[in-house]
Each structure stands twice: as structure tokens, then as C-alpha cells.
Amino acid sequence: MGLSAAAPPWGAPGLLLTIALHLAWAPVHRDYCVLGAGPAGLQMAYFLQRAGRDYMVFERAPVPGSFFTRYPRHRKLISINKRYTGKANAEFNLRHDWNSLLSHDPRLLFRHYSDAYYPDASDMVRYLSDFAERLGLHVLYNTTVAHVTVNKDRGAWNGHYFILTDHRGQAYQCSVLLVATGLSVPNRVDFPGSEYVDGYESMSVDPKDFEGQNVLILGRGNSAFETAENIFGVTNFIHMLSRSRVRLSWATHYVGDLRAINNGLLDTYQLKSLDGLLESDLTDLAIVKDHKGKFHITLKLFVEEFFNQSSEAIPLPQDNNDNFAMRVAYDRVIRCLGWKFDFSIFSKSLRLSSGSELSEKYPLVRASYESKGSRGLFILGTASHSVDYRKSAGGFIHGFRYTVRAVHRLLEQRHHSVAWPSTEHPITHLASAIIRRINEASGLYQMFSVLADVVLLKENATTFEYLEEFPMQMLAQLETITGRRARHGLFVINMEYGRNYSGPDKDVFFSDRSVGHMEDAWLSNFLHPVIYYYRHLPTEQEVRFRPAGWPLPRPSALHHVVEDFLTDWTAPVGHILPLRRFLENCLDTDLRSFYAESCFLFALTHQKLPPFCQQGYLRTQGLVGTESLRQHGVESGLLWDSATMGGHSLAPGPPVSPFNSNKEEL
């Protein structure tokens, strides 16, 4: 425990190492321990650092982001580095910057590190080490955490400490453990002959090694297509075999599916150029090597039947079926099946289990990214993708940089009583607050349907609090997580694609794919804002048993802001007006804005004033306006016209009575 006093805490690793060796028995305490100095680990370190927390990042390699020193093998990142958007708004621009981490330092934007739209992976390595260095993040490099276990302790924040043991035997005692180790174990499929298969992690990336060869690639993800892209100009042909059909990201709207940049092989397949795609379950497969060293595809059960025989004796499918698709012999078989989470260092006592069938490669977590097995253990970054696998961007830098921030906000409230950041405004600013966020917020846009903004109404709905980027599946626990009260109703602002618009078999270019009219907003297909209104905070049950296909329980009222080709939702009539009407009807009030003159008239002719006049004019902050605006107001019939003595015929709810000259006394 005396360590931090004895040594400059973040001094040269060598020095620390010496001391650590000496004090191997005394565990070093940290409030927060972060495993892995990849993008997610560094992002968390940044927030902990800014909040002045006691933390340490543990990194096996000598540099941050070591994954990117080797992967992707062909070095081209498929996360876009869009340097120009035509807009100055830095928050908006993050919607189209998929590589930067969040920080207050504008120099730490990825566009300063690469000019390429699809940047080189080594730029990412350079970026991450700059990020760690410039922000002075506390990272312990060259430290392999070999084992993680828990130690029950009543005094601990979560009733237990996490004990980390590194490769030198040094122990660390952590109150909160943040695992950001990514997916580090290559996925393998075990079948007879799998030993002949080259792995993506170790295969050659030199196209020369594939010249004039017949190549079979197992897998149909981006790594498989990236590999094919690299060699399909020199091979005889490439066949690609996977269990299920190819999922194109432009049809599924999921960035983890096959991106157009990698789909050269699809083009050649569909344009009859010998390359091809096949679907079959890899676990039924077997590979037999013949005497020339060529590989033949057959069935596992054939191999099992003839398991003692020489490879030539094993029957092949084409023996019975002479037009079997994979009857040619292959020179190479390459496995590109992706990665999975490394569970091996975690003791059973942590109860860290893998996800369901669909997201087996990820550890199981709640929507708050906290492990279901142990409190205080959070999974960050790529490994946290089970929450939104195949839906949103939580497995990628441009998504998890926001989920990491959400976890940090949760921790600040849980352990330091720092409530979730929020701003409070008078109710007349509600539409503006929402319009601002849906037009610029990058977290809502990237983590659509995972993180959502929440508006908490105060008593009588005269003011509201605005909370950003809350993990929406945790809505029922909002009060505990944020430390804010939600007693008077709330709005949830989410971004959504249209129902039934995304999917591997969907035609996303059909002719009526977009709607333009406000009344059809609920039929919008492209990503658009959706606002849910709840009179009461939904319960856990309601969230869990929500209607199928809904991201949230059925609200009291619902509003869709109609999709916009430019994602610019600021049209006064097309976007803002319907939103105001929705808010007005939820809150049962009039949210129009009025010039001071109108407020003056209302003040002297009504007992009550609309909120805009109450919150502005009556506090001597009325909007006076100019003569030219007044003129427009009179022309539009919305403003009181002194010339004609006409009443406020159109504007106010309870208007001045429109008398005519034909009077009859009763």
C-alpha cells in the first residue's frame, strides 16, 4: 500500500517493476483497474483521469492498441475517416468520424493522423499512443494480467475486491474492474482436416504466394472478403464457404457486416468470373489431403466411417454426385472466422459466462455493461458488443467510445455521488433542446437504439432536465443509475431505422423507400429521431416484456420526426412544428413562442398566460422583434394588426373575441 508513496506512481516502468518485484506480496490497491490499453481501455482511462479517479490500465504489449499492430492483416481499416462534411459543428462531425476517441483536445482527432478515407492500421497505432501520451493516461505496459479472481470484503464498494495477478506474480486489488481486452482469440472450427487450414492471423498476405492457385476461404465476414480482395486478382478462383448467407452492411445497416469496400468478390461471383460463394455448415465438413498435397472437401461422416483408411480411400461427394460444387481440389484453404473473447484468465468465482448462441463470442453483460455474474465488473469496447450485436455500433470505436462514457457516468454516480450530467431549462425550450440534439449529437446517431437522450419533467412540467446518452434498456433503473428523479413523466429521444427496413435479404433501394410527408413520418425507413413519452417511468417488467421489435415499452404517446435526406431536422414546418404539437399534446399546454406585444395583449386580456410569455415576457425577457418581422406577422394574420382593428383571429388558443359591428343588446 505504501507503493504509491514510495515511488513516483507513473514513473518509468522499469522502476516500478523493480519495486513491484520487491513488494510482490502486498497487493497494490486501485479504485479502478482497466484491462487492456486498446481504444476502449484508453477511452475509459481518459474519463477516469478527467474525473480525478484512482485508476490504472494494464497492457500486455509495450504500446497501446497492439491489436492494430498486426490486424487487420492487410492493414486497411474499414472505419471511415471522413475529414470533410461541410459543417463546422465538431459534435456533428463525430457522426462521420469512426476512429477518433472522445477528448477535449481537438488535436486528438483522427483526421490529423491520416488523409485516407480508409486509413492504414499503423496510423491507428500511432494515434492511440499519442492519445495515451498526450493526455498522460496511466498505463502499465508490458504487464500481462495472468489471473483475475475476487476476494469478498464487506468494506469494498461492491462487497468484494477484484484481485489481478500479473505475470510477475504482483497482485493488484481493484474496487472496480473494467475489462477492455477485446476479442483476442481466433475462432476455429474443429473438423477432420482442420489442421490443413491457414488461419487469418498467420496466413501470408503476399499475393504472390497465391498465384495460379485454387483457394477456398472459410468465413464470410469482412476478414474473409478482405483476404479475397487481396488475392483474387492472382488466383485461379476463390470459393468462399460459410454457414449462412452473406450479410451486406448496406442492407442490414450494421457496420460489422460485409462492407461495400470489401465486396469485390461478390462482383466477380455474380459476373461469372469463376469465383463463387457457397453456404454450408462448416461443422459437417472435412478436408482430405491427397498425395499431391491438394485439398478435397468431403463430409465429416465419410471421414468418421473410414477413419483408419488412407486419405485416397475416403469417399468424396462427387463420387455419387458428379456435379458437386466443391469437387475441385484446392491448393489452399484459409480460415477467416473472426475472434472471440478470452475467458481464460478469469476465475470461475467471477461467474463471467459467454452470451447466448448468437453472441457466443462475447461475455454476457447487462445493458449497463456490467457483468451479470459479478457486480463492479464491466465489459467495455469490442467485447461489450453482445448488448447490440448486429444492431448498432457498440462493437466498434465509433460506438463504444459513447458506451464507455455511459459506464463512466454510471460509476461516477454509484461511487462518487456525482449525478448524471444534465442541464435544466424552462419547458418552452424543450423543442429546441431536442432539435439541437437530434441534429448534432453523435452518440445518439452512432449508438442508435442503444443510447438515448432522456428528458425528465419537473413538477407541473414547467421545467425539465436533459440527460444525454443513457443506455435505454436500463430505463427502469434510471433513477438509481443517474441519481436524478423521474417522477413527473419523461421523454426518451432515440434514433431508429424503419421497422423491417434492415436485413440481409432486404431490398434497400426500392422505389418508395423514403417518405417526405410529416404524416407518414412513422413509416420512415432511414435513421430518424423517434420520441417516446411516458407518464411514468417504465418498470423493469415493462422493459423486459416490451412488444416484439420495439426498443422500448409501449409509450403513452409516440412521435417520429420524418426521415431527412440530409439528416438535417431543422425545417420549421416539416420537422419542428409536428414535434411541437406532439410535445404540446403530451404536456397539455401551448408551447408557441410569442412576441412581447402579443404577451402584453394576453397579459391584459387573460387571467393566464402561455408558458412562453410567463417564462420570458413576465420576467422582462420578452422578444420585442423588429418592424419588418412585425409586418410579416400582420401579413400572415398571426400578429395583432392595429391598422384594421382586427382581433387575433388565428393565433391564440383563447382568443380575443371577434366582434362584428352588428350589435344587438340582450
Binding residues among 500-539 for other proteins as defined by CB under 8 A: 504-505, 518-519, 521-522
Cβ neighbourhood burial of 400 (10 Å; 0-12, 13-18, 19+): buried
Amino acid letter at 154? R
Tell me, by CB under 8 A, how many residues bind other proteins. Answer: 130
Contact flag: residue 663 with other proteins (CB under 8 A): yes
- Applying the rule CB under 8 A, the residues between 11 and 30 that interact with other proteins are none
Strand partners of residue 160: 152
3-state secondary structure of 58: strand
Give yes or no for a contact between 477 and 541, defined as CB atoms under 8 angstroms apart.
Answer: no
User: From the CB of 217, what's the least distance to other proteins, in Å?
Assistant: 15
The one segment of 12-20, 53-61, 117-125, 613-621 that binds other proteins by CB under 8 A? 613-621
| Nearer of residues 296 and 429 to other proteins, judged by Cβ | 429
Strand segments (E) across 144-270: 145-152, 160-166, 171-179, 185-186, 198-199, 214-218, 237-242
For CA atoms 400, 401, 406, 408, the dihedral sign is positive
Give yes or no for a contact between 374 and 350, defined as CB atoms under 8 angstroms apart.
Answer: yes
| Nearer of residues 21 and 650 to other proteins, judged by Cβ | 650
Contact flag: residue 338 with other proteins (CB under 8 A): no
| Nearer of residues 385 and 580 to other proteins, judged by Cβ | 580
Contact flag: residue 649 with other proteins (CB under 8 A): no
Inter-helix orientation angle 121-134/39-50, to 10°: 20
Contact flag: residue 656 with other proteins (CB under 8 A): yes
Q: Which of 10, 92, 118, 306 binds other proteins (CB under 8 A)?
A: 92
Give yes or no for a contact between 49 and 137, defined as CB atoms under 8 angstroms apart.
Answer: yes
Contact flag: residue 41 with other proteins (CB under 8 A): no
| Nearer of residues 202 and 570 to other proteins, judged by Cβ | 570
Strand partners of residue 285: 299
The one segment of 107-115, 204-212, 481-489, 587-595 that binds other proteins by CB under 8 A? 587-595
Name 130's Cβ contacts closer than 8 Å, sequence gap at least 6. Answer: 108, 113
User: From the CB of 360, what's the least distance to other proteins, in Å?
Assistant: 12
Q: Which of 371, 560, 563, 564 binds other proteins (CB under 8 A)?
A: 560
The site map against other proteins for 460-499 (x = CB under 8 A) is ------x---------------------------------
Give yes or no for a contact between 38 and 65, defined as CB atoms under 8 angstroms apart.
Answer: yes
The C-alpha cell that represents 658 in the structure block: 371577434
Q: How far is CA 589 from CA 88, 549, 558, in A?
A: 36, 32, 17
The one segment of 116-124, 274-282, 341-349, 454-462 that binds other proteins by CB under 8 A? 274-282
| Nearer of residues 51 and 325 to other proteins, judged by Cβ | 325
Residue with cell 417516446: 532
| Nearer of residues 511 and 662 to other proteins, judged by Cβ | 662
User: From the CB of 635, what's the least distance to other proteins, in Å?
Assistant: 7
The one segment of 53-61, 157-165, 256-264, 269-277 that binds other proteins by CB under 8 A? 269-277
For the sheet containing 237-242, what is the strand order?
198-199, 332-335, 214-218, 237-242, 276-279
The two most distant CA atoms of the chain are separated, in Å, by 116
CA 574 to chain CA centroid, Å, is 28
| Nearer of residues 367 and 609 to other proteins, judged by Cβ | 609
Contact flag: residue 4 with other proteins (CB under 8 A): no
For CA atoms 213, 193, 361, 141, the dihedral sign is negative
Contact flag: residue 83 with other proteins (CB under 8 A): no
- Applying the rule CB under 8 A, the residues between 593 and 612 that interact with other proteins are 593-598, 600-601, 603-611
| Nearer of residues 209 and 281 to other proteins, judged by Cβ | 281
Amino acid letter at 344? S
User: From the CB of 420, what's the least distance to other proteins, in Å?
Assistant: 15
Name 403's Cβ contacts closer than 8 Å, sequence gap at least 6. Answer: 369, 380, 384, 387, 394, 447, 450, 451, 471
The one segment of 55-63, 203-211, 366-374, 651-659 that binds other proteins by CB under 8 A? 651-659
The one segment of 157-165, 174-182, 333-341, 650-658 that binds other proteins by CB under 8 A? 650-658
| Nearer of residues 195 and 588 to other proteins, judged by Cβ | 588
Q: Which of 243, 289, 366, 546 binds other proteins (CB under 8 A)?
A: 243
- Applying the rule CB under 8 A, the residues between 101 and 130 that interact with other proteins are 106
Q: Which of 78, 140, 203, 299 binds other proteins (CB under 8 A)?
A: 299
Contact flag: residue 558 with other proteins (CB under 8 A): yes
Other C-beta atoms closer than 10 Å to the C-beta of 231 total 25
| Nearer of residues 436 and 546 to other proteins, judged by Cβ | 436
Q: Which of 25, 313, 320, 459 binds other proteins (CB under 8 A)?
A: 320
- Applying the rule CB under 8 A, the residues between 346 and 385 that interact with other proteins are 357-358
- Applying the rule CB under 8 A, the residues between 567 and 586 that interact with other proteins are 570, 572-573, 576-578, 580-582, 584-585
User: From the CB of 144, what's the least distance to other proteins, in Å?
Assistant: 37
Rg (CA), the chain: 30
Distance CA 375, CA 415 (A): 13
Query: CA nearest 61: which of 142, 129, 181, 121?
Result: 142
The one segment of 11-19, 406-414, 436-444, 478-486 that binds other proteins by CB under 8 A? 436-444
Query: CA nearest 153: which of 376, 483, 425?
Result: 376
Contact flag: residue 629 with other proteins (CB under 8 A): yes
The pair phi, psi for residue 197, each rounded to 5°, is: -90, 135
Distance CA 124, CA 68 (A): 7
Other C-beta atoms closer than 10 Å to the C-beta of 179 total 31
* HEC letters along 478-530: HHHHHCCCCCCCEEEEEEECCCCCCCCCCCCCCCCCCCCCHHHHHHCCCCEEE
Type and span of the H or E element at 251: helix 249-252
The site map against other proteins for 394-433 (x = CB under 8 A) is -----------------------------x-x---x--xx
The C-alpha cell that represents 423 in the structure block: 442541464
Contact flag: residue 260 with other proteins (CB under 8 A): no
Q: Which of 201, 331, 440, 542 binds other proteins (CB under 8 A)?
A: 440
Contact flag: residue 236 with other proteins (CB under 8 A): no
